């Protein structure tokens, strides 16, 4: 075999080794995204488990607010379904978008429940309701940290998959960019609140 053939073989071998290294790094980063979503999923389950208890405690006091309670239960069911779809595909933009919409609806209905609960001093003073409210607040904080960790992993993955020359391997082997989790998709919610005197 000639020297030129050996050089060509060495270059090809180097390219194959480099492509394998890039592929393995992308797989590692994609798995980290799945792990980060797993942490979100744990907190979401905790939140979904708290909601029925919260509604049951409130139901005793809010007999005239059945629509509010039913809206919370319905939103919880939709959010659980969206979370199951996102759990199956944590790098899917569609699944993560549907989860964000469902979570926003659940957060809105829980917020309305809390506003209604403020109008009922006996419910507000109920020890079980206070405990559940505190647990819900704690869960929301944990969710916030888990979402931040997920977005950090997505940033690492997207950076790696978009940088040259790794982008060549990413495109050839089908590594699409992963979606970031957004706190809101509504322009109205992003706008700063107006204070009028």
63, 69 Cβ separation under 8 angstroms: no
DSSP per position, 81-113: HHHHHHHH-TT-HHHHHHHHHHHHHHHHHHHHH
**The pLDDT value given to residue 183:** 63
Question: Is residue 162 scored above 60 in pLDDT?
Answer: yes
Q: How confident is the model at residue 194 (pLDDT cuts 50, 70, 90)?
A: very low
Q: What is the CATH number of domain 9-177?
A: 1.20.1440.20
Calculate the average pLDDT of the chain: 87
130, 6 Cβ separation under 8 angstroms: no
30, 157 Cβ separation under 8 angstroms: yes
**Domains in the chain: boundaries:** 9-177
DSSP state of 180: P
Percent of the chain with pLDDT over 70: 92
Query: Mean pLDDT over residues 1-13, rounded?
Result: 91
Query: Mean pLDDT over residues 88-97, rounded?
Result: 87
**The pLDDT value given to residue 185:** 53
DSSP state of 183: S
Percent of the chain with pLDDT over 90: 48
- Rounded CA-CA distance 52/69 in Å is 10
- Rounded CA-CA distance 92/103 in Å is 16
């Amino acid at each position: 075999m000639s020297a030129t053939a050996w050089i060509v073989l060495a270059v090809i071998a180097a390219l194959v080794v480099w492509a394998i290294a890039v592929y393995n790094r992308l797989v590692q980063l994609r798995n980290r995204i799945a792990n980060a979503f797993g942490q979100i999923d744990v907190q979401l389950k905790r939140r979904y488990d708290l909601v029925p208890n919260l509604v049951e405690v409130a139901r005793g006091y809010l007999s005239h607010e059945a629509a509010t309670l039913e809206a919370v239960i319905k939103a919880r069911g939709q959010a659980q379904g969206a979370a199951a779809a996102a759990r199956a595909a944590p790098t899917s933009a569609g699944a993560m978008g549907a989860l964000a919409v469902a979570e926003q609806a659940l957060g809105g209905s829980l917020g309305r429940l809390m506003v209604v609960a403020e109008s009922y001093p006996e419910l507000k003073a109920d020890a079980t309701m206070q405990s559940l409210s505190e647990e819900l607040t704690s869960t929301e904080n944990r969710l916030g940290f888990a979402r931040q960790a997920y977005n950090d992993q997505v940033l690492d993955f997207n950076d790696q998959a978009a940088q040259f020359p790794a982008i060549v391997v990413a495109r050839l082997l089908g590594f699409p960019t992963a979606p970031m989790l957004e706190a809101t998709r509504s322009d109205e919610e992003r706008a700063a609140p107006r204070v009028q005197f």
